[in-house]
Amino acid sequence: MGLRISRAGRRTNDQGEVKDQVEVDGKSERVPVAGVAAQVLDASGALVGEGVTDDKGILLITVPGPADYTVVLDESTLPEGTVLTNQTPAERAVEEDGFRTSTITINYFTGASERVGVGFFEKLAQRSVDGTRLGLVLAMCAVGLSLIFGTTGLTNFAHGEMVTFGGMMAFLLNVSWGVTLWIGGPIVVILGGLFGLLLDTVLFAPLRRRGIGLVSQLVVTVGLSILFRNFFLSRFGGRVRELADFNGQKNITIGPVGITPRDLIAALISLGVLVGVALVLQKSRLGKATRAVSDNPELASTTGIDSQKIIRIVWFVGGALAALGGIFRGLDEGIGPDMGLDLLFLMFAGITLGGLGSPFGSLVGGFIVGLFVETSTLFGVPSELKKVPALVALVLILLLRPQGILGRRERIG
């Protein structure tokens, strides 16, 4: 479906075109769909106009003029056995500043419904694949957060904005400047690392030298989170936007599950990065020094390890991993100013589950939380509340096993 918002004279028209994507002789074609209903609402939620598509799949709705509108497609009027694709939800936003030309087009696509005749185990398999993808992104972001906590003791509430920074930079390069993600992605990862290093150099390293307590530094991270989120909101706007690359891909069917090539490649890259980080931490001199600083910074310094250098490297790696997570999350869910905040407490849940300060625990915990979030809807949890069980699990972990799965119990005093 392509929604065309046309401006004619002093009046503005919303024109929608609904097409079904089908396979004909091995090629993908789009066939007009008639009888699909849609509405246009203004910023207050009041109905501006409505109608249904004709035999050419075209719908024209007259609206008063350029303004912020919401177009809502009635999915119940779609032909039986078809649904909107995940990339084109039924409710779409149209902003006033989009009325710069006579016509605006918002694309919608439908396809065969995957929900017809799907059993519980097929749904569980698909949700498990979705949860694995989310878990890999969470684990990648949580490792950086855990490394920072392990080496400095700082709980960084601005880590979500480091994820958002990666998504925003990817959008700037890919959409605004036309740089493909194959080239722009590595650039964004480096920028994310430099962003993390900048935060440590300008803020947290001076605070550590002055002996400022961890609670005060935590408050600073909360302030940074609010500052960056409002900055992103002012520069980017509140609407979730999509990256230009890899849109409209068809699922690859593997047994009972389906996954797009984009998501499969992102999952494989995430897995490769996590394995690489684990090997570096376990086998390399840098990894052993990082683990030594995490265990006891003072003792590590007496053995000749430059703790401050290790901390700077950790901030760079944490920022780079967060930026890469922001790219992959943006490909999946779109880019918005709150994308990192939405993941932050899931990262904390993963870190707590795996063990505070344990990078390997963060890998395991983030993966488990991702699976938990995506599969919870199969057991009666509304999709809008699917993150709540993970946060409830966070509370239970803190009460029953505060050291986490791979953490170790410590005696204080």
The answer to the question of residue 412 being in a domain is: no
Q: Are residues 139 and 216 in the same domain?
A: yes
Do residues 108 and 3 touch, judged by C-beta distance below 8 A? yes
Of 86, 112, 138, which closes a domain?
112
96: which DSSP letter? G
The answer to the question of residue 413 being in a domain is: no
The answer to the question of residue 367 being in a domain is: yes
Q: Are residues 97 and 170 in the same domain?
A: no
Mapped onto helix, strand or coil, the DSSP state of residue 94 is strand
The answer to the question of residue 407 being in a domain is: no
Of 85, 112, 139, which closes a domain?
112
Do residues 248 and 30 touch, judged by C-beta distance below 8 A? no
pTM: 0.71
Instruction: Provide the residue-wise pLDDT of the chain in tens; the chain has 413 residues.
Output: 344 434 333 344 555 555 555 443 444 455 677 788 888 888 777 888 788 877 776 777 777 777 788 888 888 888 776 777 666 677 878 777 666 555 556 666 676 554 445 577 888 888 888 888 888 999 889 888 988 988 888 989 999 999 999 999 999 999 989 999 999 999 999 999 999 999 999 999 999 999 899 999 999 999 999 999 999 999 888 888 888 888 767 778 887 788 888 889 999 999 999 999 989 988 899 988 988 888 887 888 888 888 899 999 999 999 999 999 999 999 888 898 989 988 898 888 888 887 766 677 777 888 888 888 888 878 877 777 788 877 787 788 778 777 666 655 554 44
Of 112, 141, 168, which closes a domain?
112
Q: Are residues 259 and 339 in the same domain?
A: yes
The domain that holds 45 is classified in CATH as 2.60.40.10
Query: Which pLDDT belongs to residue 7?
Result: 38
Write out the two tokens for 161. Answer: 């904005």
Per DSSP (E only), the strands in 95-225 are: 103-107, 110-112
Q: Are residues 108 and 140 in the same domain?
A: no
Domain count, the chain: 2
The answer to the question of residue 15 being in a domain is: yes
137: which DSSP letter? H
The answer to the question of residue 409 being in a domain is: no
Q: Are residues 79 and 43 in the same domain?
A: yes
Q: Are residues 101 and 131 in the same domain?
A: no
Q: Are residues 253 and 364 in the same domain?
A: yes
Query: Which pLDDT belongs to residue 105?
Result: 61
Do residues 281 and 293 touch, judged by C-beta distance below 8 A? no
Cβ neighbors of 276 (< 8 A, separation 6 or more) are: none
The answer to the question of residue 411 being in a domain is: no
Residue 87's nearest CA partner among 232, 240, 233, 237 is: 240
What is the per-residue DSSP string for 267-334?
HHHHHHHHHHHHHHHHHSHHHHHHHHHHH-HHHHHHTT--HHHHHHHHHHHHHHHHHHHHHHHHHHH-
Q: Are residues 321 and 383 in the same domain?
A: yes
The domain that holds 355 is classified in CATH as 1.10.3470
The answer to the question of residue 410 being in a domain is: no
Q: Are residues 60 and 127 in the same domain?
A: no
Q: Are residues 103 and 188 in the same domain?
A: no
Q: What are phi and psi of 260, to 5 degrees?
A: -75, 155
Write out the two tokens for 157. Answer: 């509430």
Q: Are residues 297 and 354 in the same domain?
A: yes
Q: Are residues 92 and 145 in the same domain?
A: no
CB atoms inside a 10 Å sphere around CB 61: 20
Cβ neighbors of 177 (< 8 A, separation 6 or more) are: none
Mapped onto helix, strand or coil, the DSSP state of residue 182 is helix
Residue 347 lies in domain: 120-400
